[in-house]
């Protein structure tokens, strides 16, 4: 399997931490989040990983290197200017098989091989990994019909299927991305839908955390330390080189 990791953002919401360190290299449990992610990909059977870099990209390149310590072949795609979350697909060498695209600031225990299996079996052009999230409105909410109140609910909770920032794409999608243009993933997915392409989902019911805000970052530190191996993954496929292993305690969720 192959993956493209998006690691070119500036991480503005985590400043001042990200003034001198790119967000994917921020430590979680004394390990950069990108290190955790690459270790998991290697253990899940990935062989080649592309990393799109921009802001402080040389620090990422210096830390990760060729990927040999993970048993991966790492290749870098340099964004001369920010291209959005889908624009870097235009930089990807033409793939022959379905591939993953994922954000570089995620702490998760997604079963990548299972997601790829769903993508292939459903013959999707795009498969989005989703996560059910509940949000509570901190106010009283009124349900109206013709200016008449039909229901008054105090601080209701609503459930949504959200994107986790993990996708599988058919190879042909890359040829549809304009080079050098800013394009985000919602716009790409909506374009696929307008073109009557099949976009499916893979439901993830494990742990998923986006390290975009300070409270998320602090929580991720706590969750990772409770069970590192859950996020580092178990070894499934053949690897080249010597990937590092770290002991951890299994904690069931």
Closest CA to 86 of 1, 180, 162, 21: 180
Query: pLDDT tens digits for 84-100?
Result: 999 999 999 989 999 99
Return the pLDDT at 211: 80
| 249 lies in some domain | no
| 110 lies in some domain | yes
- Best-predicted range by mean pLDDT (58-62, 123-127, 173-177): 123-127
Answer whether residue 134 shows pLDDT above 60: yes
Return the pLDDT at 186: 96
Q: Are 192 and 170 in contact (CB under 8 A)?
A: no
Q: Are 84 and 180 in contact (CB under 8 A)?
A: no
Can you tell me the distance from the alpha carbon of 76 to that of 54, in angstroms, rounded to the nearest whole number?
10
Q: How far is CA 250 from the centre of its chain?
A: 23
Answer whether residue 138 shows pLDDT above 60: yes
Q: What is the mean pLDDT of residues 149-154?
A: 92
Return the pLDDT at 249: 26
Q: Are 191 and 172 in contact (CB under 8 A)?
A: no
Q: What is the mean pLDDT of residues 140-156?
A: 92
Return the pLDDT at 17: 64
Q: How confident is the model at residue 229 (pLDDT cuts 50, 70, 90)?
A: confident
Answer whether residue 225 shows pLDDT above 70: yes
Can you tell me the distance from the alpha carbon of 17 to that of 61, in angstroms, rounded to the nearest whole number?
19
Total-model pTM: 0.85
Query: pLDDT tens digits for 5-49?
Result: 999 877 676 666 666 678 889 888 889 999 999 999 999 999 999
Answer whether residue 73 shows pLDDT above 70: yes
Token digits of residue 2: 């192959």
| 136 lies in some domain | no
Return the pLDDT at 28: 87
Return the pLDDT at 218: 81
| 243 lies in some domain | no
Strands (E), the chain: 2-7, 27-28, 31-32, 48-53, 73-78, 99-103, 106-108, 126-136, 140-145, 148-154, 157-169, 199-203, 208-210
Q: How many CB atoms lie within 10 A of CB 81?
A: 9
Return the pLDDT at 253: 32
| 94 lies in some domain | yes
Answer whether residue 252 shows pLDDT above 90: no
| 153 lies in some domain | no
| 51 lies in some domain | yes
Residues taking part in catalysis: 155
Return the pLDDT at 120: 98
Return the pLDDT at 49: 97
Total number of domains constituting the chain: 1
Expressed as residue numbers, the domain containing 13 is 2-128+163-232
Return the residue matching tokens 């989703």.
130
| 157 lies in some domain | no
CATH of the domain at 178: 3.90.550.10
Query: pLDDT tens digits for 49-59?
Result: 999 998 888 99
């Amino acid at each position: 399997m192959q993956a493209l990791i998006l690691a070119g953002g500036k991480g503005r919401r985590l400043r001042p931490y990200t003034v001198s360190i790119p967000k994917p290299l921020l430590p979680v449990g004394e390990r950069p989040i990108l290190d955790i992610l690459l270790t998991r990909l290697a253990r899940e059977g990935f062989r080649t990983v592309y990393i799109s870099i921009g802001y402080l990209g040389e620090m990422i390149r210096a830390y990760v290197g060729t990927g040999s310590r993970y048993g991966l072949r790492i290749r870098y795609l340099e964004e001369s200017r920010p291209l959005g979350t889908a624009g870097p697909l235009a930089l990807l060498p033409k793939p022959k098989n379905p591939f993953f695209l994922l954000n570089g600031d995620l702490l998760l225990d997604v079963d990548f091989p299972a997601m790829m299996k769903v993508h292939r079996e459903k013959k999707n052009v795009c498969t989005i990994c989703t996560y059910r999230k509940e949000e509570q409105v901190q106010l009283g909410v009124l349900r109206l019909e013709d200016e008449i109140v039909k229901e008054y609910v105090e601080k209701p909770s609503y459930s949504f299927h959200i994107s986790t920032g993990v996708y599988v794409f058919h190879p042909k999608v890359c040829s549809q991305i304009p080079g050098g243009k800013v394009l985000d993933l919602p716009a790409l997915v909506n374009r696929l839908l307008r073109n009557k392409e099949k976009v499916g989902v893979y439901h993830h019911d494990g742990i998923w955390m986006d390290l975009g805000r300070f409270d998320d970052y602090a929580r991720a530190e706590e969750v990772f330390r409770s069970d590192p191996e859950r996020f580092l993954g178990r070894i499934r496929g053949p690897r080249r080189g010597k990937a590092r292993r770290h002991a951890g305690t299994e904690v069931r969720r």
